[in-house]
Structure 1
Amino acid sequence: MEILNLNLLGRPLRLEGTMSGWQRLYWDHQIVSELPASADPDGEAEHLFELHGEDGAIKCCVLANINWHPFELNYRVLINDQIADEGKRSLEDLEHSAPHEVMPIKKEVNLVGLASLGFKLFKSAKVIKVVLAGASVAAYSWFFSLQFALALMACLVFHEYGHIRAMKYFGMKTKGIYLIPFIGGLALGDDKINTRWQDVVISIMGPSFGLFLSIVSLIVYELTGEVFFAGLAAFNALLNLFNLLPILPLDGGHILKSISFSMDSKIGIVACALGAGLGVFLSYQLGLALLGFLLLVGSIEIIAEWRLRHESRLYPLDGYGQLFSLTWYLGTIGCLIGIIWYLAGTGDAILGLPLQVLQS
């Protein structure tokens, strides 16, 4: 993960590190110092390097004193034994800053590079959003109806807007929302994440916004008796419930992966496996066969990848963060299932379809 980014002699100075003690220092996108992993990753690390210019060699030193739990970095930058910069960073600073990728300069121009650049320009153009949105409306209208298409688009936009709001909360740049026919929506950001907490919040805010829309629609239905709003609440709840399945790249997959990958002990992953097993058992007991099957597949996938957690450069959740994230996740799922179940009990055949899907 990127733990420090500042300016030294007019060029970017970046320090990357992992909780195993490994550190790598870049100046002007070039590696100038690297430290291997160690048994005691906390404490002060010293990076020494020289820069050569017209006036001779310049001796540089970066002193980084890191405490990982909770994260705190105190640093000093010295040039020829004189302090050029110093300061400290907390976990909050880490969460509200986006890592910068080291991009090597490509000297050759080839067709692959030009195609990649063209795709990026095409993707960033505002016109593509309008084209995709229009194609989505046309496709859903063809198979269903215009009213259904517009309602579905509203659900997708509201869901994706939740992701966008979370990205902006962490100070990340966003490219907006793209609606893709028969696939759904996609909220794109320009920046990468630094912590597991960012991954959890950005992922769960979409379904949370979706849950809010279903609750509002349900209230309007109760006040007006208009079945349209009941249908909106039910099908929107089903849409967001599937997004919370623990299958990558769905939102639920990101959430549970961040929680499980933050667990250092085997006891934690055993508890996660038991929780997944309980979820599968309850799903089948309640007659939600499809939900139970997908929950089982997704849980096995995440548990199988748990051994790779140390290769990640994302700062993990602490115990409180794991418990809070899991409670938020399960609470959202429970509320969505509750809305589907309640509306299925009205006796309306259309409103019962989401529950029938889960029971299939």
Structure 2
Amino acid sequence: MTLRENLLLNLELFGKTLKLENDGEGTQCLYWDDKLVSQVDLTGITVSEIVHRFQLQQANNSEEVSLNLQAKDQTVSYQLWINQHQQATGEFPLVPSAHLVKEKSTRSFMGLAALVFKLFKSAKVIKAVLAGASVAGYAWLFTVEFALVIVACLVIHEYGHVRAMQYFGIKTKGIYLIPFVGGLAVSDDKINTRWQDVVISIMGPCFGLFMSLACLLIYWLTDLELFAGAAVLSALLNLFNLLPILPLDGGHVLKSISFSMRSWVGLSVCMAGIALGLGLAYTFGLALLVFFLFVGALEVIFEWQQRHFSHLIPLDRYGQTFSAVWYVLVVAGHVAVIMNFADSENPILSLPMKILGS
């Protein structure tokens, strides 16, 4: 990130002046009423995002303050957060510096993949093509009715992610179905807090649970096994997605909780989740899961390397506990739906329980 020399930003915070300055030697300093509260040494590194986080004592209260900076083209946008509530936002010019340069992405592989994906999804007709290919593919493997049930489960799940993004004011580009892989809810903005990551990640399985319960209720009322199959299939797909493995939804919840504790704890817990996933992939011969684990490992490693510059505001102790309990309850809900058909004579309905039992 390239920032102006000397005074970069001047804001009012609790009746005093909050000043962001560059000392001209590669260190960015943040002062509150001439008291140094945060500094970041940028010598020899290239980043596009910087976060200054510190505590202020006000009367009998401790205020958690965060100033997030992000380079965009020729400007730097900033967000001021107090106790995870946004207080101010804006931008200032980005001017070349002798010490810092705007980040040229070191994630060449991931950046290229993202570029290809953006080009791929630029045409709206792609959504329809992918949806049609998904239905056709699943119908080729099973039946048309079963294919429609699978696609409905995927759409409801991804719609949960989209609704959560919209709740936080994050722009979305819609839902994309990927044949034989699943679905993807695409956003157009970045998240700002670990809490947003938790909510967006877990709302997909939550909507999936609502669908499973609704289908279960309809099955009890009509005795049509199609709805029983939809309930079980939705529960199984969402339960798989809740595995604590990146880039699955459960992995994102685990990462947000663990990286909010300590960075080394986050790395250890996430790597343990990846090891668990490798064990499952080996046991059940899930080659595609190995690919997911590879992508998840890259994400964890990159986040570890950038842990000192992450703009994401961590979860507090209450947020960590609430997120963990929420995660466990959603998992328990899907397991309960599957267990409801544990003694079914229909091999399709009892299959998920046999998988869990193994």
Q: TM-score, normalised by structure 2?
A: 0.64
Q: Corresponding residue for 1:171?
A: 169
Given that residues 175 and 188 in structure 1 are in contact (C-alpha distance below 8 angstroms), is that contact kept between their aligned partners in structure 2?
yes
Q: Which has the larger radius of gyration?
A: 1
In the alignment, the residues of structure 2 paired with residue 132 and residue 255 of structure 1 have an alpha-carbon distance, to the nearest angstrom, of 28
Identify which of 125, 139, 143 aligns with 1:127: 125
Q: Look up the SS of the partner of 2:169 in the other structure.
A: coil
Q: In the superposition, relative to structure 1, how do residues 104 and 134 fare at CA in structure 2: closer, same or farther (>3 Å)?
A: farther
Q: Look up the SS of the partner of 1:262 in the other structure.
A: helix
In the alignment, the residues of structure 2 paired with residue 343 and residue 96 of structure 1 have an alpha-carbon distance, to the nearest angstrom, of 52
Identify which of 311, 314, 319 aligns with 2:308: 311
Q: Which amino acid aligns with 1:174?
A: T
In the alignment, the residues of structure 1 paired with residue 142 and residue 123 of structure 2 have an alpha-carbon distance, to the nearest angstrom, of 29
1:182-205 deviations in Å (ceiling 9; x for gaps): 110000001111211111111000
Matches within 5 A, 1:205-244: 205-244=203-242
Q: Corresponding residue for 1:188?
A: 186
Given that residues 137 and 153 in structure 1 are in contact (C-alpha distance below 8 angstroms), is that contact kept between their aligned partners in structure 2?
yes
Q: Corresponding residue for 1:67?
A: 55
Q: In the superposition, relative to structure 1, how do residues 116 and 32 fare at CA in structure 2: closer, same or farther (>3 Å)?
A: farther
User: Post-superposition shift, 1:338?
Assistant: 1.2
Q: Look up the SS of the partner of 2:156 in the other structure.
A: helix
Given that residues 95 and 198 in structure 1 are in contact (C-alpha distance below 8 angstroms), is that contact kept between their aligned partners in structure 2?
no
1:219-248 deviations in Å (ceiling 9; x for gaps): 111111111111111111000000000111
In the alignment, the residues of structure 1 paired with residue 113 and residue 258 of structure 2 have an alpha-carbon distance, to the nearest angstrom, of 38
Q: Which amino acid aligns with 2:347?
A: A
Q: Corresponding residue for 1:158?
A: 156
Q: Corresponding residue for 1:35?
A: 28
1:19-60 deviations in Å (ceiling 9; x for gaps): xxxx9879xxxx99842699xxx965699xxxxxxxxxxxxx
Q: Corresponding residue for 1:245?
A: 243
The alignment's C-alpha RMSD in Å is 5.0
Given that residues 172 and 186 in structure 2 are in contact (C-alpha distance below 8 angstroms), is that contact kept between their aligned partners in structure 1?
yes
1:83-117 deviations in Å (ceiling 9; x for gaps): xxxx96434544998999x89699xxxxxx99987
Q: Corresponding residue for 2:353?
A: 355
In the alignment, the residues of structure 2 paired with residue 231 and residue 93 of structure 1 have an alpha-carbon distance, to the nearest angstrom, of 43
Q: In the superposition, relative to structure 1, how do residues 116 and 309 fare at CA in structure 2: closer, same or farther (>3 Å)?
A: closer
In the alignment, the residues of structure 1 paired with residue 327 and residue 136 of structure 2 have an alpha-carbon distance, to the nearest angstrom, of 34
Given that residues 198 and 323 in structure 2 are in contact (C-alpha distance below 8 angstroms), is that contact kept between their aligned partners in structure 1?
yes
Given that residues 137 and 179 in structure 2 are in contact (C-alpha distance below 8 angstroms), is that contact kept between their aligned partners in structure 1?
yes
User: Gaps spanning 5+ residues in structure 1: where?
Assistant: 1-11, 16-22, 48-63, 75-86, 107-112
Say how many residue pairs are matched. 284
Q: In the superposition, relative to structure 1, how do residues 333 and 340 fare at CA in structure 2: closer, same or farther (>3 Å)?
A: same
Q: TM-score, normalised by structure 1?
A: 0.64
Q: In the superposition, relative to structure 1, how do residues 340 and 105 fare at CA in structure 2: closer, same or farther (>3 Å)?
A: closer
User: Post-superposition shift, 1:73?
Assistant: 6.0
Identify which of 117, 134, 137 aligns with 1:136: 134
Identify which of 146, 149, 162 aligns with 2:147: 149
Asked if 1:90 is matched to 2:82, the reply is yes
User: Gaps spanning 5+ residues in structure 2: where?
Assistant: 1-7, 12-18, 41-51, 57-61, 68-78, 95-100, 105-110
Q: In the superposition, relative to structure 1, how do residues 239 and 96 fare at CA in structure 2: closer, same or farther (>3 Å)?
A: farther
1:263-298 deviations in Å (ceiling 9; x for gaps): 1398x77x979x98xx99xxx9xxxx87xxx9xx98
Of all paired residues, the percent bearing the same amino acid is 50
Q: Look up the SS of the partner of 2:183 in the other structure.
A: strand
Q: In the superposition, relative to structure 1, how do residues 226 and 186 fare at CA in structure 2: closer, same or farther (>3 Å)?
A: same
In the alignment, the residues of structure 2 paired with residue 215 and residue 96 of structure 1 have an alpha-carbon distance, to the nearest angstrom, of 42
Given that residues 21 and 29 in structure 2 are in contact (C-alpha distance below 8 angstroms), is that contact kept between their aligned partners in structure 1?
no
